[in-house]
Chains A and B, each alone.
Chain A
Amino acid sequence: MADIPAAGTVPEMRRDEELTTADGRPLRVALRRSQRQLRRRAFYLVAPLLVFLLVTFGWPIANMIAGSVYNPEVAHFLPLTSSAISDWDGEDVPGEDVFAAMAMDMESGLANRTIGRAAGRINREIPGARSLVMGTARDLEDMQPPYREAFLAEDERWGDLEFWRLIKRETRIVTPAYYLLALDFEYNSRGEIVERPEIYQVYRQLFWRTAWMSLTITALCVLLGYPVAHLLATLPLKTSNVLMILVLLPFWTSLLVRTSAWIVLLQQQGVINDLLVWANIIDASGRIRMIYNQTGTIIAMTHILLPFMILPLYSVMKTIPPSYMRAARSLGATQFTAFTKVYMPLTIPGVAAGVLLVFILAIGYYITPALVGGESGIFISNLIAQNMQGTSAQLKLASALATILLVGVLFFYWLFNKLIGVDRLKFG
């Protein structure tokens, strides 16, 4: 126990008696002041990055999350209707006051071109409502009060209780409706949350598929990357450098080019099928479909993400001295035992870093599944992208889906931290 200082070498200190500097200031204060200066300088150094991150990262994400619940269309663009309908009991077609308010909202909405946004919002849940509202709004100048009768004469759908209940429900500024949709739920006409009909259910399935395919890809990356990284770490420098370039080469090639190369290789009239036919392993009519499905996505993405597994693994393996394996062998372990009991546990920080990188990258992948995934191999991000190009309601749905994905990734990160400890990871 020579490491522990002998008792008495540390001067004893009484808590209540504060130490002071030479000029009489409390030592604690002086220390804090000198450190504050250092901290401030450090802050100035990172400030540009911080601002950059806030502008390019924090702000858009906050915007996205806000957009996924923001629901101003009914309240803002049908203001009179919104207040008139608040007293409605929802049991019978609303009275003239609501219809008259609707007519006035339409009039002003036509003038300042906001009626379409309200109509679009309602249409999101009642298809056809858009043309109903727009059509009636255009015909409004030919109508006379009482509007209840006039509207019902124009189109009987104005007597639809579901329509009015929706308006009443969606007068709120913040709505969970898009999150419900994103999880394949919806409001029924009574305002209860129910599962959507099966023919419309897609998002949960896609989330689930994205997760398990990403896991499969991650597992394949570990299986393929581990031996390569081991080779890289143990080969003589000259050989390993050549191998390292081969590993890095994909990094320097455009993602699109790599994905297209896989199409050329894997398609039914592609190189691999041609070879198999030529070698008489399959006949020409039995060409294997390896692309435009899950297989294609898994193959192409495993290839593309492999370097992200190999590099952290390599950097960890490089630091494991060969003497550990030798020690294990000299202690009586077979090559296999030495590998599994000594070498592999030591590579866990690298495996974990690789898994974290590959899985998180995979779960948000977009281009490759879009090009080679066909219909069964696409990811949730493909639907997010598709919805982003659509109507504003679809954009909000995309925001909700993206937020759920983000939360999912954060959850995975948290879980990972719990299980492995992120501070133990070695990224390279």
Chain B
Amino acid sequence: MKRKTLLLAAAAVLPAAAAVAQEGSLTIVSWGGAYSMSQQKAYHEPYTDKTGTRILTQDESANALAGIRSQVDAGNVTWDVVDMLQADAQRACDEGLIMQIPHDEWLAEAPDGTPPSDDFIEGTLGECFIPQILYATMFAYNEEAFPDGGPQTVADIWDLEAFPGTRSLQKIPQKNLEWALIADGVPGDEVYDVLATQEGQDRAFAKLDEIKDNVIWWSEGAQPPQMLADKEAVIATAYNGRIFNAQVSEDQPFQIMWDGQMFEVDGWVVPVEKSDEQLELIKDYLYFATDTQRLADQAKYIPYAPARQSSVPMVSTHEETGVEMQPHMPTTEKNFQNAVQFNTDFWADYGDLLEERFNAWLAQ
């Protein structure tokens, strides 16, 4: 996998470098692995073919916020475009580390002429943020552990008698607190209002207490599918792309429970302090890479939903296996019914506090 990525990167970079060294280059930071490869295929390679601009990639998105901050503090910003979670982008934007983006000015219209600000799915655009994909974090389980059928609702996850076994959750308060409230009967659209109150927070932690002894915690995205495969856990929260991979590429008997899925947006940001010349290059790239076709293309390589409404109908099949991608998209009608949008604004306000409380709760 890794070697493949390298080969692809080399294939992309070498001819371009020879042809148009003076055309300039872009340093693009992303997550690495399958996700970076989908960007390589859908965005970078076509762009280099078209313009000759060299694209250098770095797999540093896991430390994006700290990285941008230290580059800006040091006055030496080497990253041009950074792939970032919306929540982190919000923080970086607040701190003035990344540029504000006039979406309609910088980005392409939809094929039918809809301006970008209307074409991107509502609530995904940020002041400094260009959405790219929607991905879901949701519960998945190993079918073999539940021969009579697995959990169907978030409340089922809390039902240790009907669905015994270890759960694996991410070691962060985000999403876990929301699910705890949903399991406790709070409707999805009221979750954040409840969680903004002291009582709501107490209620969420109390609900988590009920399953705490049956939980092991993960911190890397690769862990939950592994734990499910090893049967260290029978139910795990995971990114939908990781589970898709295990299902399709590794034939694992995993099922995704779409109920209560929390979708989140991942996209591009541009650190501040760019020269005008470089900024033009960046804008050109972003105009190309975030248009309707490109976003739809990315879904051939990874089951994350394009952030433009106009891209959704263009999603086709998985490039590698030929699997129809639509059923695996978090935004597909059937999967989307009880979806909850991850509220980055809420977490920008309450993140510090709730992370501390979560750590304290864990340590008890």
User: What is A's interface to B at a CB cutoff of 8 Å?
Assistant: 112-114, 116-117, 119-120, 123-124, 127-131, 134, 198-202, 205-206, 209, 267-269, 292, 370-371, 374-376, 378, 383, 386, 388-395
- Could you tell me the distance between the alpha carbons of A375 and B172 in the complex, rounded to whole angstroms? 11
Interface positions of B from 63 to 81, Cβ below 8 Å from A: 63, 65-66, 69
Report whether B66 and A199 are in contact in the complex, using a CB–CB cutoff of 8 Å: no
| B345 partner, pick from A131, A200, A374, beta carbons under 8 A | A131
Q: Is the CB of B345 within 8 A of A388?
A: no
Choose among A202, A371, A376, A393 the residue that contacts B359 (Cβ–Cβ < 8 A). A202
Q: How far is the CA of A127 from the CA of B100 in the complex (A)?
A: 24
Q: Is the CB of A199 within 8 A of B232?
A: no
Residue contact A269 to B352, C-beta cutoff 8 Å: no
Stretch at the interface among B88-96, B112-120, B290-298: B88-96
Q: B171: which of A124, A128, A131, A375 is its contact (CB, 8 Å)? A: A375
Q: Is the CB of A120 within 8 A of B94?
A: yes
Question: Given the interface contacts A117-B95, A268-B232, does A391 sit within 8 Å of B351 by beta carbon?
Answer: yes
Q: Which of B312-364 contact A (CB under 8 A)?
A: 345, 348-353, 355-357, 359-363
Which A residues touch B216, using CB under 8 A?
Answer: 292, 374
A-B residue pairs, 6 tightest by C-beta: A116-B94, A202-B360, A113-B96, A375-B362, A127-B353, A292-B216
Contacts A199-B357, A374-B216 supplied; 4 other A-B pairs, CB < 8 Å: A120-B95, A131-B349, A268-B232, A390-B355
Selected A-B contacts with CB under 8 Å, 7 pairs: A127-B349, A127-B353, A130-B349, A198-B360, A388-B66, A391-B352, A394-B352
Closest partner residue, chain B, to A128 (CB atom): B349
Q: Is the CB of A130 within 8 A of B217?
A: no
Task: State which of B65, B94, B171, B232 has its C-beta within 8 Å of the C-beta of A130.
Answer: B94
Query: With A116-B94, A267-B232 as given contacts, are A375 and B352 in contact (CB-CB < 8 Å)?
Result: no
CB contact under 8 A between A375 and B363, given known A200-B356, A389-B63: yes
Q: Which of B95, B231, B360 contacts A199 (CB 8 A)?
A: B360
B residues near A378, Cβ cutoff 8 Å: 363
B interface, size bucket: 35 or more
Contact residues in B for A390 (Cβ distance below 8 Å): 65, 91, 351-352, 355
A127-B352, A131-B349 known; A113 and B100 CB under 8 Å? yes
Contact A128 B350 (CB under 8 A): yes
Closest Cβ of chain B to A343, distance in Å, is 42
- Least Cβ–Cβ distance between A197 and chain B, in angstroms: 9
Look across to chain A and name the residue whose beta carbon is closest to the beta carbon of B171: A375
A residues in contact with B356, CB < 8 Å: 200, 202
* A395 near B352: Cβ-Cβ < 8 Å: no
Contacts of B275 in A (CB 8 A): none
Q: How far is the CB of A9 from chain B (nearest CB, A)?
A: 66
Whether A206 and B363, one on each chain, are in contact in the complex, defined by CB atoms closer than 8 angstroms, is: yes
Report Cα–Cα, A390/B345, bound state, in Å.
Answer: 15
Distance between Cα atoms of A114 and B69 in the complex (Å): 14
* Pairwise interchain contact A134-B94, C-beta atoms closer than 8 A: yes
With a cutoff of 8 Å between Cβ atoms, the chain A residues found around residue B161 in the complex are none
> Is B217 a contact of A375 with CB atoms below 8 Å?
yes
Instruction: Report A-chain residues with C-beta under 8 Å of the C-beta of B93.
Output: 116
Residues in chain B near residue A388, CB distance under 8 A: 66
Residue of A nearest to B353 (CB): A127
Q: Which of these, A124, A202, A268, contacts B363 with CB under 8 Å?
A: A202
B359 touches A383 (CB 8 A): yes
Question: Is B249 an interface residue, CB under 8 A from the partner?
Answer: no
In the bound complex, what is the Cα–Cα distance between A61 and B66 (angstroms)? 17
Which of chain A's residues have a CB closer than 8 A to the CB of B162? none
Known contacts A128-B350, A201-B360; is A116 also within 8 Å of B69 by CB?
A: no
Of chain B, the residue at the smallest CB distance from A114 is B96
